[in-house]
Structure 1
Amino acid sequence: MKMANEKIEGLMQKARAAQAQVADYTQEQADDMVRVVAKRCWAERERIAQLCVDDTGKGTYEFKLGKMENTTASVYMYLKGRKSVGLVEHDEKKKLWKYAKPVGVLACITPVTNPAATPIGNGLNVLKTRNAMIVCPHPGARKATGDTVELMRTALRENGHPEDLVQVVPESTVQDAADLMAAVDLILATGGPGMVKAAYSSGKPALGVGQGNVQCILDEDYDDLEKLVSAIVPSRMVDYGMPCTGEQTVHCPASKLDALIKTYASMKCHYIDDEAQIQKLRETLFVDGAINREIVGQPSYKIAKMAGIDIPEDTTLLLLKVGKCGKEEVLAKEILAPITRIFPYDSFEEAVERARTNMLMEGAGHSSCIWSNNPEHVAFAASRIPAGRVMVNQPATNGSGRQNNGLGQTVSLGCGYWGGNSVYHNVNYKDMLNYTIVSEILEDRKVLTPKEIMAD
């Protein structure tokens, strides 16, 4: 049946034809596609990073470049040597063999906050699995995303692979995104909660990510404040606070508050505890309870100026002291800017419950971090906080995977059923495959009767 959207239909026809050409690729051929695309994106990382800033007007070149470098290199490293073709697992004891097969054509819906790294990170996984991908860019980042996709297409074409394995929707609209999601075999949805909900409502399988609202807990026994602050300031400052993995709130023992603020000040953070100024910032950051798009990805001094507050132009983070949590405090929501709330507490249990309340209000299923030397406190926080990842003594940005932790490198962090997602883990190539399980009889296994099973 012919689609009403001829633009999407044309892209789908090309994607189907290209994917059919690689459906029987060997592991070596699939790995070659990943390699040549990763190398080309790496070579052009500086130009694309600048284009991301110029096209969107958000973030900074330095942060965009770092994101490009980290995404390209870390995902490439993660995919090296991993099986995605044919027999990928064998359990001799259970007599099970697992074979991997492509899904077909995937839609990659990309946000304005990550117009290049998201298609690159997703694209390397898609090529690893012998699938095709059609990218639907955010209207505010069409040039940056389009040029990134063209880089990938050029790398494929020049190395003898079908370039139509990776395409972009030109002059994309909301209707284009909806029609694309309805046409493909699987959706990779990265963006706001409305877009992710639309992906799950499309009638097609979707790998969506939920909203972030990272809660950071400083335990009473953790005294190396310089180590903590030197780790989480850069984490929150990445791309002027746009990544969903940045620490939104730091729950601090009241007894350590002065020392913590002093340590923050050494890294040019500006602390505000005046309620009148905080109210001005509430009104600036949020409009009718929704984030003010004008502050997204902007430097802290500029945001403060919008609120009528003068702070030094070289300020890194803006720190706001808050006393309420959850629905009682609009500032407890995710803020896509270099702002961190400081929440003093009297007991560790109180801090955990406040962090839990904030995340259940917004950001459930995403990530949290705790700085502690107390294993019992770590276990308690992990058991209570509704997060897919709890990062211990490391910045929350490490939740997307680093070489010094065991999480898989990704650009999409699943938020489980809390966040309305189908996965809770770091989305990776394994989620983009169909599997066939071959099973043989276990000759030495005694088969019990129902009465024998129920006897004990």
Structure 2
Amino acid sequence: MDMKTSPSPEHDGVRRQVAECVARARAAQRVYDGFDQERVDEVVLAAGWAIMEPARNRALAELAVADTGLGNVEDKVIKNHRKTLGLLRDLRGAKSVGVISEDKAKGVIEIARPIGVVGAVTPSTNPGATPANKIINALKGRNAVILAPSPKGHGTSTLLLRYIHEELDRVGAPRDLVQQLAAPVSKAATQELMRQVDLVVVTGSQNNVRAAYESGTPAIGVGAGNVSVIVDETADPAQAAEKIRRSKTFDNATSCSSENSVVIVEAVYQRMLDALREQGGVLLDAAQKQRLQQTMWPAGKLSAAVTAKAAPVIAALAGLHGPAFDSARFLMVEETGTGEQHPFSGEKLSPVLTVYRARDFEHAQDIVRAIYAYEGAGHSIGLHSQRPQRALHLGLVMPACRIIVNQAHCFATGGSFDNGLPFSLSMGCGSWGRNSISDNLNYKHYLNITRVAAPCTPDEPSMDDMFGAYRRRHGLA
């Protein structure tokens, strides 16, 4: 081998370390492959209890905030609880072992089979809830899973794994079903994990998503969030503002599903701004907006200093002082443009909301298209309206995989107890977001399906059945 292409000793060490981890996972998964549905569901509940037991939940939330500096404890407690409880509800009674469906008329039997070893790349924004979600889904499919957490989130996921291992011991399942890369987690180790496992699932930076797709391993990545929500002339401003505030401020906007822009139809623009102010929003003037922009993008890149921080903290960093800023729940800036020269049109991961004025509903759609042409295509669009047909219209023509109607967006997009979407912390963005899936990542994505096909009653149309009407319409002989 040419010396220029020979692996370095460091890379050999990383490869061996990952290989040892994967080998243990494969051995554990072979044992787990023999579990029946009842035992699998017990393992799933065990993993859920590991994060949902109240004292453990709070310990994980406190450690997550202490280690990452992102979000706030009380909201992370709620997120850990609701997202895991909702996922367990979705999985209860779902078949993932053996025969899962049979179509006797067509002679097709579907059998659920495990994928094997899953590599799960997880972000610092949700270092407890996101790993738990991926672990539970992977276990539902009788897979082993190895986490590649963000460096800041490693301590939280380490504690989560300790709790999970205690529960796996309780139900008699192998501990090596759930592992993680050793600290410090390097880019090289994460990429090596991607190469060695059977499936990669990635939530986090778009660099990691691209690396997963380039790894040569089947991969599921999710697109960038940059949610826009439209408020039309039929909306109730007070109700819309309350929902936007709850979503925008939850966990200091760590969620990719938090609203980044609100596009307000002119007929209700002033009333909506007043309603947002009533909810604790502070609208910046042009000079204040410029100071905030310089603080948030000091070198053209979003500063980690403002990510998932409370609004008063961000305001103080920008030199904005006074009673209004000290008590602000979120900051608002008016914008007219989109793209790199207008950074407020992009994802902000903070309680900062960009406000656009639209002439009418059609103009609002044009603004959202322009925003998503810059960032966020495929994720989702929020709509506050009393015209249901407008939601359907958005679904037919806009580049978004979810249209969230009259709901607090970050609670609804990833599944809620009052809508029918699967509970998930990873939302596929389809081809618009350069993703392989367009739905919420769920347990079905962690399964192989084998189909047994037996002979059935023949169903072969004649040429006239298939083309007769077509030939008559077009005068064909």
Q: What is the TM-score when the length of structure 2 is the normalising length?
A: 0.92
Q: Deviations over 1:419-447 (max 9, x none)?
A: 11110000101011111112223324235
Q: 1:349 maps to what in 2? A: 362
Q: 1:97 maps to what in 2? A: 109
Native 8 Å contact 1:250 1:340 kept in 2: yes
Within the alignment, does 1:137 sit opposite 2:137 as a pair?
Answer: no
Q: 1:366 maps to what in 2? A: 379
Q: 1:175 maps to what in 2? A: 188
Q: 1:8 maps to what in 2? A: 18
Q: 2:306 maps to what in 1? A: 295
Q: Which structure would you say has the larger Rg?
A: 2
The equivalences for 1:211-290 within 5 A come to 211-222=224-235, 224-272=236-284, 274-290=285-301
Q: Paired residue for 2:199, among 181, 186, 189? A: 186
Within the alignment, does 1:380 sit opposite 2:393 as a pair?
Answer: yes
Q: Deviations over 1:106-132 (max 9, x none)?
A: 001010101111110111111111000
1:81 and 1:106 mapped to 2: Cα distance?
A: 23
Deviation at 1:325, TM superposition (A): 2.4
The equivalences for 1:56-67 within 5 A come to 56-67=68-79
The equivalences for 1:108-147 within 5 A come to 108-147=120-159
Within the alignment, does 1:199 sit opposite 2:209 as a pair?
Answer: no
Q: Deviations over 1:367-425 (max 9, x none)?
A: 11101122332233223321110111112220101121111111211111111111000
Within the alignment, does 1:340 sit opposite 2:353 as a pair?
Answer: yes
Q: 2:32 maps to what in 1? A: 22
Amino acid at match of 1:15: A
The equivalences for 1:428-439 within 5 A come to 428-439=442-453
Q: Paired residue for 1:393, among 378, 381, 406? A: 406
Q: 1:407 maps to what in 2? A: 421
In terms of mean alpha carbon deviation, does 158-167 or 250-259 score higher?
250-259
Native 8 Å contact 1:300 1:315 kept in 2: yes
Native 8 Å contact 2:117 2:146 kept in 1: yes
Within the alignment, does 1:443 sit opposite 2:457 as a pair?
Answer: yes
Native 8 Å contact 2:106 2:457 kept in 1: no
1:7 and 1:170 mapped to 2: Cα distance?
A: 9
Native 8 Å contact 2:146 2:179 kept in 1: yes
Q: 2:8 maps to what in 1? A: none
Within the alignment, does 1:86 sit opposite 2:98 as a pair?
Answer: yes
1:91 and 1:287 mapped to 2: Cα distance?
A: 60
Deviation at 1:94, TM superposition (A): 2.6
Deviation at 1:261, TM superposition (A): 2.0
1:98 and 1:280 mapped to 2: Cα distance?
A: 59
Runs of 5+ in structure 2 lacking a partner?
1-10, 471-477
Q: Paired residue for 2:45, among 19, 22, 35? A: 35
Native 8 Å contact 1:119 1:149 kept in 2: no
SS of residue in 2 equivalent to 1:58 = coil
Q: Deviations over 1:322-367 (max 9, x none)?
A: 1212444211000000111111111111111111110121011111
Q: Paired residue for 1:322, among 332, 335, 345? A: 335
2:23 and 2:98 mapped to 1: Cα distance?
A: 26
1:18 and 1:135 mapped to 2: Cα distance?
A: 15
2:294 and 2:408 mapped to 1: Cα distance?
A: 29
Q: 2:3 maps to what in 1? A: none
SS of residue in 2 equivalent to 1:295 = coil
In terms of mean alpha carbon deviation, does 368-377 or 404-413 score higher?
368-377
Amino acid at match of 1:423: I
Native 8 Å contact 1:3 1:9 kept in 2: no
Native 8 Å contact 2:50 2:160 kept in 1: no
Native 8 Å contact 1:270 1:317 kept in 2: yes
1:102 and 1:212 mapped to 2: Cα distance?
A: 30
Deviation at 1:95, TM superposition (A): 2.4
Native 8 Å contact 1:214 1:247 kept in 2: yes
Root mean square deviation of aligned Cα: 1.6
Q: 1:107 maps to what in 2? A: 119
1:363 and 1:399 mapped to 2: Cα distance?
A: 14
Amino acid at match of 1:295: V
Amino acid at match of 1:382: G
1:312 and 1:281 mapped to 2: Cα distance?
A: 12
Native 8 Å contact 1:153 1:167 kept in 2: no
1:437 and 1:290 mapped to 2: Cα distance?
A: 49
Query: Segments of 4+ in structure 1 off by > 6 A?
Result: none
SS of residue in 1 equivalent to 2:438 = coil
2:312 and 2:42 mapped to 1: Cα distance?
A: 46
Q: Deviations over 1:214-254 (max 9, x none)?
A: 010001112x2221111121111111011000011111122
Native 8 Å contact 2:338 2:374 kept in 1: no
1:411 and 1:146 mapped to 2: Cα distance?
A: 19
Q: Deviations over 1:143-185 (max 9, x none)?
A: 1111112211221022211011000111111111000000000
Native 8 Å contact 2:24 2:176 kept in 1: yes
Deviation at 1:40, TM superposition (A): 2.5
SS of residue in 1 equivalent to 2:109 = strand
Q: 1:295 to 1:331 in 2, by over 3 A?
A: same
Amino acid at match of 2:46: V
1:327 and 1:386 mapped to 2: Cα distance?
A: 20
